[in-house]
Chain A
Amino acid sequence: MFENLFVGIADGLRSLLGGLPLEINEAIVMLVKLVAILVFILVNALWLVYMERKVAGYMQARIGPNRVGPKGLLQTSADIGKLICKEIIIHKDTDKVVFMLAPVLVFVPTLMVFAVIPFGKNMAAIDMNIGLLYLLAIASLSTVIFWMAGWASNNKYSLLGSMRSVAQMVSYELPMVLAILGVIMITGSLKMSDIIAAQEHTWFIFTQPIAFLIFFIASVSECNRAPFDLIEAESELVNGFNTEYSGMAFAMFYLAEYANMLVCCAMVTILFLGGWLAPFGLDFIPSWLWFFIKMYVVMFVIMQLRWTYPRIRVDQLMGFGWKVLVPLSLANIFVTGIGMYIYRAIGW
């Protein structure tokens, strides 16, 4: 009965507004959808911080937050509340407009990306036919915002951090796109729903394991998580691009990191883990729940990575991207092509 919970709500809303002209009706439904996604992301980012701290706590032989609210669940809310009350310090040498624009814009690419992500069966806000391309294009925009923040801060540590973010983007974006190419070759479509439908029988993690690994590494790098957290690198650059930020401006960057993680996990889930498809015929669990389960499993792995691995150096990251991941992803495309040719030739 929960299978079509959200789709049902949308339909109900439509029929409720049945008296209005069709365009206005659709516009209102779309607005509600977007607000729902917005709330979902913000609440998720808030609670992911808690999850992260809890995971870190248990990995490090301690308990983690356990004071505010039951089991410390309201810890992040309290932290954000504190940060809202704090003054945003803008020192006199900053480029004030850009400096304040960066934390405002930092959520924009993330929110835009969520427009095309299918959270369940028929549950994408917009099922674009170039969905994947749109997603890749928008997701890499966040680099520009980090650069804005670093440059406008007029601080050498921030500048170094944002320079690193550009260097990092150049070296991981290419293998990321090339890795996805294997998936696109098999499905023959950039549409999210087609990609998920193509994984009806086997998930792409089994048919495209190398592409999965490359994509996973690149997406960890995309959301600037350890071992690729070069742009923050607190032991080297104090706090990288957001060294000069305080109060809510800082909190925006902090929450955006988790929202970005959410995007990356959603992408891994859609491209390689079969999206909202239920494995082993476990259909009684609604599709959107499956999507979240898969997403949080990926999230958990990323969190474990962060608390296990040290930070890679900037030249090593670029070397790894260009010398290992790019050739590997090209080889993957080659092998996939040959495999598909043979597959069609024998005509299974």
Chain B
Amino acid sequence: MIRTQEYNLNFGPQHPSTHGVFRLLLTLDGERVVKAEPICGYLHRGIEKLAESRTYTQIIPYTDRMDYLAAMLQNWGYVMAVEKLMGVEVPEKAEYMRVISGELSRLASHLIAIGTYSLDIGAFTGFLLAFRERETTMDLLEELTGSRMTLSFARIGGVAADAPEGWLDKVDKFMDKLPDCIDEYDGLITGNEIFQARTRDVGVLKPETAINYSISGPTLRGSGVDYDLRKAKPYGIYDRFDFEVPLGKNGDCFDRFDCRMREMRQIIRIVKQAIEQIKEIDGPVIAKVPKVLKPPKGDAYEEIETSKGIIGYYVVSDGSTKPYRVHVRRPSFINLGYLDEMLRGYLVADVVAILGSIDIMLGEVDC
């Protein structure tokens, strides 16, 4: 028997596949992982603390910076919590605008997730093809909100603006085109023999473990647990739409990836229904709220389903114009909890595959 020695490898914070400034301290035996220690905090900006010295409206742009790939969903979670605190009724049209822009944000985030995942596995072309559709999504969001990534579109009591003229038709047209593009990704990435060999039976996450570790989002649903807040506890107007929740079987990397792929097709269904319904609605896009927000003393917690998982905002008010405390339950951070055990026994190449399949967003992990 050859006497071998374990060694440490610093995987990040500057590494092409950690999707940002995430650091993994790997203990390796040859190429096999013995132990993995996730170290985060390289992008910590203290958003929760900053929120304590801002007014309620001023916090909205900070939420953008958490998951900047799906900014609308972050805004939405925060304003919902404040609305609950103040007891504001959101106009129907605003709810529809939130659904459309939110689902577009989710689409942009999922496109990045599948694109960068194919890059992690080593296929560069999938990455650029996914970015092609993301660009269209960004253009649409830019036309609506004036910004590409940090949208800050949601307002307490509604949304910032109504859709510009002809915008809904543009979205509708894009949604007609999208299934073909998703078929293209399926042909290029999902159906590829090497891709399947690399991702099947790698990084298996059992349903019980996933629940115990409070994992959420496509990472949870890849393990076959049917829990999507949009379906389980419909917030906003999600009970009005007809869509399915895609589930995986084995809970391996491929299932998690495939869940996102199929979820994109559901996004198309939701957006198309929303566009059909919003055209019959007239009215304001923002409720009548006072200029200076002074919520009553108390606290409120609201959670929504983002592209990464369940994000929860907990807002405590002491009756002044600034919140006493804001706490965020960040799905990316919580989904990382099981990473160490998930990586043990796999090769270095699998580390990238598993980390990519969880789809973390560093802005959210470090907050």
Residues of A participating in the B interface, judged by any CB pair closer than 8 Å: 56, 59-62, 156-157, 160, 163, 226-227, 229, 233-238, 307-316
Contact = CB atoms under 8 A, between A and B. Distances in A.
Interface string B184-227: 00001100101101100000000000000000000000000000
Interface string B120-132: 1111110011001
A235 B198 contact: no
A221 B154 CA distance: 52
A310 B195 contact: yes
Interface stretch (B266-274, B297-305, B348-356): B348-356
A59 B184 CA distance: 13
Contacts of A163: 30-31
7 contacts: A59-B125, A233-B349, A308-B188, A310-B189, A313-B349, A313-B350, A316-B198
Contacts of B118: 310
Residue among B30, B118, B124 with most chain A CB within 10 A: B124
A315 B195 contact: no
Given A227-B122, A238-B15, A313-B349, 14 more contacts: A56-B125, A59-B125, A60-B129, A160-B348, A163-B30, A227-B194, A236-B348, A236-B349, A236-B352, A309-B192, A310-B121, A311-B349, A312-B198, A314-B31
Contacts of B9: 156-157
A316 B202 CA distance: 13
Contacts of A311: 121-123, 194, 198, 349
A309 B126 CA distance: 10
A28 B78 CA distance: 80
Residue among B7, B17, B118, B123 with most chain A CB within 10 A: B123
Nearest to B17: A235
Contacts of B347: 313-315
A238 B129 contact: no
Interface in B113-164: 118-125, 128-129, 132
B349 A309 contact: no
A308 B7 contact: no
B17 A236 contact: yes
B128 A234 contact: no
Given A160-B348, A309-B194, A311-B194, A235 B125 contact: no
A118 B128 CA distance: 40
B16 interface: yes
A42 B38 CA distance: 45
B16 A160 contact: no
Interface string B30-47: 110000000000000000
Interface in B5-63: 7, 9, 15-17, 30-31
A235 B122 contact: yes
Contact of A316 (B15, B120, B197): B197
B348 A237 contact: yes
Contact of A310 (B15, B128, B129, B198): B198
Nearest to A227: B194
B16 A234 contact: yes
A309 B352 contact: no
Contacts of B351: 236
Contacts of B122: 226-227, 229, 233, 235, 309-311
Contacts of B15: 238
Nearest to B199: A310
Listed from nearest, the 9 A-B pairs whose CB atoms lie closest are A311-B122, A310-B123, A310-B121, A60-B128, A310-B122, A235-B17, A313-B349, A310-B195, A310-B194
A310 B198 CA distance: 9
Interface in B100-124: 118-124
Contacts of A226: 122
A136 B9 CA distance: 36
A309 B123 contact: yes
A147 to B, nearest CB: 16
A60 B129 CA distance: 6
Contacts of A235: 16-17, 119-122, 352
B125 A314 contact: no
Nearest to A61: B132
A60 B123 contact: no
A61 to B, nearest CB: 6
Nearest to B128: A60
